[in-house]
């Protein structure tokens, strides 16, 4: 009887390292999709940074009061850089959609039913990506071939208008992320605060047609630093997700 008890204890002791190894393998496999989601976000951020350096400076672009002929001349003069940067931005938004879809699913697993915030986050991400990608089309048309002044002006206005309007779903997306993370603490709180700041900033950019030449206008630096808050959040959330505890 004692011998059987000893043999049983020995077998159980031998099985402990095996169970530990299996648990480690399960954790590693569970975290692999999370790492891929984070890497998609980092890839989106990297493409955005490259596109910023490829594109001509946004603050040098003709303002909303510029003539159609000036807009057409600007687009043709820097057409190669504009098209290259738009391609990079388009790839970046594609990677962002992958990141947002994965992050939405990851957050959904950590949110209590009915999963309202993670759903709002996902829908906001899709809506902002659609508006941004739609804004690229008239910009492509401006740079693809020479446009008459009567068409160049409206195309430029359409580009800036769609980009400005994308501030609303961006604010919804970032606001939902901030609320969910603050409630669940599944990711660092500072990423939620960054998202909240970005949400407020994008409400401002949505109002950029309010005046000409003032702070809230397309001619001011608001079109530069407001999108920067969104780009910074992508990098921050991706880095935080990359270091997230798989057991949370």
pLDDT of 149 over the 80 cut: yes
Residue 167 CA to residue 161 CA, distance in Å, equals 10
pTM over the 0.85 mark? no
| Confidence class for position 171, pLDDT limits 50, 70, 90 | very high
Predicted pLDDT of residue 69: 86
If one compares 239 and 164, the residue with the highest pLDDT of the two is: 239
The mean per-residue pLDDT over the stretch 45-49 comes to 96
pLDDT of 79 over the 60 cut: yes
217 within 8 A of 238, measured Cβ to Cβ: no
Predicted pLDDT of residue 219: 54
Number of separate helices (H) and strands (E) present in the chain: 8, 0
| Cis amide linkage into residue 114, ω under 30° from 0 | yes
The mean per-residue pLDDT over the stretch 27-43 comes to 80
Q: What is the DSSP string of 124-171?
A: HHHHHHHHHHHHHHHHHHHHHS---HHHHHHHHHHHHHHHHHTHHHHH
Is residue 67 classed as helix, strand or coil in its secondary structure? Answer: coil
Entry field: residues in the chain:
248
| Confidence class for position 40, pLDDT limits 50, 70, 90 | very high
The mean per-residue pLDDT over the stretch 199-223 comes to 69
């Amino acid at each position: 009887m004692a011998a059987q008890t000893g043999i049983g204890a020995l077998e159980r002791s031998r099985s402990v390292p095996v169970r530990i190894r299996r648990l480690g393998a399960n954790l590693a496999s569970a975290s692999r999709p999370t790492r891929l989601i984070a890497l998609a976000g980092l890839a989106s951020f990297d493409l955005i940074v490259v596109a910023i350096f490829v594109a001509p400076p946004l603050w040098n672009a003709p303002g909303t009061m510029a003539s159609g002929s000036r807009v057409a001349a600007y687009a043709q003069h820097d057409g190669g850089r504009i098209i290259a940067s738009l391609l990079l931005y388009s790839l970046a938004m594609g990677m962002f959609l992958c990141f947002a879809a994965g992050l939405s699913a990851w957050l959904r697993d950590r949110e209590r039913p009915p999963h309202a915030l993670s759903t709002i986050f996902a829908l906001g991400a899709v809506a902002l990506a659609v508006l941004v990608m739609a804004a690229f089309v008239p910009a492509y048309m401006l740079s693809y071939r020479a446009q008459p002044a009567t068409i160049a002006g409206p195309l430029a206005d359409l580009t800036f208008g769609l980009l400005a309007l994308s501030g609303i779903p961006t604010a919804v997306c970032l606001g939902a992320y901030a609320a969910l993370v603050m409630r669940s603490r599944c990711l660092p709180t500072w990423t939620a605060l960054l998202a909240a700041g970005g949400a407020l900033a994008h409400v401002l950019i949505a109002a950029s047609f309010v005046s000409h030449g003032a702070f809230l206008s397309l001619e001011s630096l608001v079109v530069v630093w407001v999108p920067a808050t969104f780009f910074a959040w992508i990098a921050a959330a991706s880095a935080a997700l990359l270091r997230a505890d798989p057991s949370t």
